Amino acid sequence: MNIATMTARTIPVIIPSLKEKHSGTPVRLSQEAKDAHARLSSNRTLPASQARKRPVRLPPDVSLEKFETAVKELRTEIGDDNVEVNDKPLVDGWYLEHPNTHDAFHIADQEELVSSATVYPGSTEEVQATVRWANKFGIPIYPISIGRNLGYGGAAPRMPGAIVVDLGKRMHQVINIDAENASCVVEPGVTYFKLYEEIQNRNLPLWIDTPDLGGGSVLGNAIDRGVGYTPYGDHFANHCGMELVLPDGELLRTGMGAMPGPDGSDNPTWQSFQHAFGPAIDGIFSQSNFGIVTKMGFHLMPETGHQSYCFTFPRDDDFEHIVDLIRPLAQKRILGNIPQLRHAIQELAVTGGRKKDFHDGAGPMTREEIRTAASKLPLGDCSWVFYGTQYGPPEAIVAQLELIKGEFGKIPGSKFFLPANLPPDHYIHDRASVCSGVPVLRELDWLNWVPNGAHLFFSPIAPTRGKDARTIHELIVAAHQRHGFDLFPTLCVAGREIHYITNIIYDRADPEAKNRAIRLMREMIDECAARGFGEYRTHLLFADQVAGTYNWNNSAFMRFNETIKDVLDPNGILAPGRNGIWPKRFRGKGWELKVDDIDLTTIGPRS
Ligand code: EUG
């Protein structure tokens, strides 16, 4: 173990490194990880774990006797050590030691969104064997890659008592890096940290594309259609070829991979061309429950020059104008990546600040409190911060920056900063890392906002148009006010749409705060939908409601998904309810959680 330290409460803490564990921390970030852990644990009042109130949560319609028989059979197929019954106390842990048994950021009772067991297949054949076993016993399975889909449900199955198929633990090889083609093939357990390290070790002039936190699965994030911040930031768009196990155990390759290579080798263009011939089917395996992806190809970006920067804007009301200035810059691809437009309150949260240091009592911080606190930070008094990065040779970057400064200079009081103008611990340096493909841990600091901090993302899509952006922003502001939550808007602004991401931060030990967070989510989903703004991704427990808003023409889209689901998965074993898609076996039997389901303490069929 390379990191051994003592927390504020003098519990010895060991953070596994990437060498010791597939989901571990790179050595270059060990001090940062240690510090982040110390801050979080000193802000935790809950015990590490509590005795379970109930025994193992069994899969639906499965007796204990049948469960035990099934587990025994799975052990003979996959190995005794590779099947673990979930009967021990539940440990929320933290980002770098996250659970694969339940949702660490529980909104329901901690014991509700839980698995009955975890299986660790070591090969595609073992994934196929697991799927066939699930069909034989009618037991739902829930695949995870790393399980760090945090804020969206983490590693938890949507259906309590499902068996989690933890693919990452034994399937974490970087199968290939093709330096000439600038592409790679990875297994589910390869994190951004690991892929980055692999490329550095081989001294290749290639970049990966990472989200804000680097511990996630490259494959898992892409099939959930996650986002990063180099020019290759659309993770699904930059994938190239999949191998997957269908719900009946069949094995399938997509794109050029559907054609065998010579003499039994992989097709030589599998990582060169995404679409190949015939229907482009890759998309139906993203954000769905139609197959288990066991290998996935990605394009890698050749390294290039880069320069990160930020602009600050003084007034809350500048928002609309900023969005209208970004639109043409993004459409013309003068902006080098997907920039983030963040509210000044994030400057407080990302320093590891605690709300109580800025605000007394309950209720959200006032505008004046935010301004006062932000004015003491390096960027000074402001309302919005635009973080961008330009790419290419130095002369090109200078020319691009002149154009961009000319535009944002139209907003009175705007200020321009380079990383060299800001202290070494300022967030801009982490932004510069992320925007040049270097995975980091910085955004963990948000969770210190409240004790036992947990978070939930609300992620609607809005047009890149000032007045639409204002409409959605005002609606979200009002909803947060009503429910007493601070609002942390980060807008990922493209030329035609905005991913408006807000992070609802709540205290896991406070059932009343959890319930307010649920009401807030439910209301925002419905109010946005009434104006045509829909979520691009959501937490497990809100998927039914969100799926229900995509209901044009008598829900033709969901009916299409259900048709596919019932053909591919007639026994309804694969991730029932994922993204709102329920197999025939469970559909309409009370599992769906709708807008009126405000009490989510217990999860199961309702009458
Ligand atoms: C973030 C961005 C996302 C998302 C969750 C979090 C960033 C937070 C663009 O998508 O889904 C700072």
Distance CA 569, CA 292 (A): 12
What ligand 1 atom has the least distance to the C-alpha of 340? 12
536 part of the active site: yes
pLDDT (0 to 100) of residue 3: 37
Q: What percent of the chain has pLDDT over 70?
A: 98
- Residue 2's CB: how many other CB atoms inside 10 A? 14
Neighbouring C-beta atoms of residue 48, cutoff 10 Å: 12
Q: Which residues 6+ apart lie within 8 Å of 267 measured at CB?
A: 253, 256, 257, 258, 259, 260, 261
**C-alpha to C-alpha distance for 317 and 605, rounded to whole angstroms:** 46
Tens of pLDDT along 547-571?
A: 999 999 999 999 999 999 999 999 9
> Atom 2 in ligand 1: which residue has the minimum CA distance?
501
What secondary structure letter does DSSP report for 464? S
Residue to mutate, 105, 150, 221, 227, ligand 1, most ligand atoms under 8 Å from C-beta: 227
At 109-123, the pLDDT tens digits run: 999 999 999 999 999
Top mutation candidate among 457, 491, 503, 505 for ligand 1, by most atoms within 8 Å of CB: 457
Q: Which residues are 13's β-sheet partners?
A: 5
Tell the burial category of 259 from Cβ atoms under 10 Å away from its Cβ (0-12, 13-18, 19+). Answer: middle
Three-state secondary structure readout of 549-584: HCCHHHHHHHHHHHHHHHHHCCCCCECCCHHHCCCC
Q: Which residues contact 141 (CB under 8 A, 6 or more apart)?
A: 119, 130, 131, 134, 162, 163, 164, 165, 573, 574, 575
Across all residues in the chain, what is the average pLDDT? 95
User: Pocket around ligand 1: residues whose beta carbon is below 6 Å from it?
Assistant: 212, 227, 443, 457, 459, 490, 492, 499, 501, 537
pLDDT at 361: 85
How far does the centroid of ligand 1 lie from the alpha carbon of residue 492, in Å?
Answer: 8
Tell me the CATH number of domain 3-166, given options 3.30.43.10, 3.50.50.60, 2.60.40.10, 3.30.830.10: 3.30.43.10
Residues 6 or more apart whose CB falls under 8 angstroms from that of 567 comprise: none
CA 342 to ligand 1: nearest atom = 12
Instruction: Determine the Cα–Cα distance for residues 236 and 526; give it in Å rounded to an integer.
Output: 27
Q: How would you label 243-256 residue by residue, b for 16+ Cβ within 10 Å and e otherwise?
A: bbbbbebeeebbbb
Q: Whose CA is nearest to atom 4 of ligand 1?
A: 501
Residue 28 pLDDT > 50? yes
Would you say residue 39 has pLDDT above 80?
A: yes
The one-letter amino acid code at 422 reads L
> 6 pLDDT band (50/70/90 cuts)?
very low
Q: Residues 463-489: pLDDT tens digits?
A: 999 999 999 999 999 999 999 999 999
Model confidence over 346-368: pLDDT tens digits?
888 888 789 999 998 888 999 89
Closest CA to 40 of 105, 89, 128: 105
DSSP single-letter state for residue 316: G
3-state DSSP assignment of residue 76 = helix
In tens, the pLDDT along 183-222 reads: 999 999 999 999 999 999 999 999 999 999 999 999 999 9
**Catalytic one of 95, 142, 152, 309:** 152
| pLDDT computed for residue 348 by the predictor | 86
What is the whole-number distance in angstroms between the Cα of residue 242 and the centre of ligand 1?
A: 24
- Using the CB atoms, write b or e for 326-341: b if 16+ within 10 Å: bbebbeeeebbbbbbb
The pair of three-digit structure tokens given for residue 285, joined into one six-digit string: 């395996």
Residue with tokens 């066939």: 132
- State the distance from the centre of ligand 1 to the C-alpha of 538, rounded, in angstroms: 11
Opening angle at CA 541, ends 152 and 442, nearest 5:
20
Instruction: From residue 62, give the alpha-carbon distance in Å to each of 59, 66, 377.
Output: 6, 6, 57
- Predicted TM-score (pTM) of this structure: 0.96
Q: How far is the CA of 503 from the centre of ligand 1 (A)?
A: 9
- With H, G, I as helix, E, B as strand and everything else as coil, classify residue 520: helix
Architecture of domain 174-302: 2-Layer Sandwich (3.30)
Residue 371: φ, ψ to 5°? -60, -45
Answer for the pair 480, 458: CB distance below 8 angstroms, yes or no. no
Task: Could you please state the CATH topology (level 3) that the domain comprising 306-396+428-540 is classified under.
Answer: Vanillyl-alcohol Oxidase; Chain A, domain 3 (3.40.462)
Dihedral (Cα; 69, 72, 74, 79), 10-degree rounding = 180
pLDDT greater than 80 at residue 1: no
Ligand 1 atom at minimum distance from 346 CA: 12
- In angstroms, what is the span from residue 337 Cα to ligand 1's centroid? 15
pLDDT of 8 > 60? The answer is: no
Taking the domains of the chain in order of start, what are their residue ranges? 3-166, 174-302, 306-396+428-540
Say if residues 83 and 74 touch (Cβ distance below 8 Å). yes
Tell me the two tokens of residue 448: 């210190």
Top mutation candidate among 490, 536, 546 for ligand 1, by most atoms within 8 Å of CB: 490
Is 152 one of the catalytic residues? yes
Radius of gyration for the alpha carbons in the chain, expressed in angstroms and rounded: 24
Q: Separation of 234 CA from ligand 1 center, angstroms? A: 12
Please confirm, yes or no, whether 170 is among the known catalytic residues: no
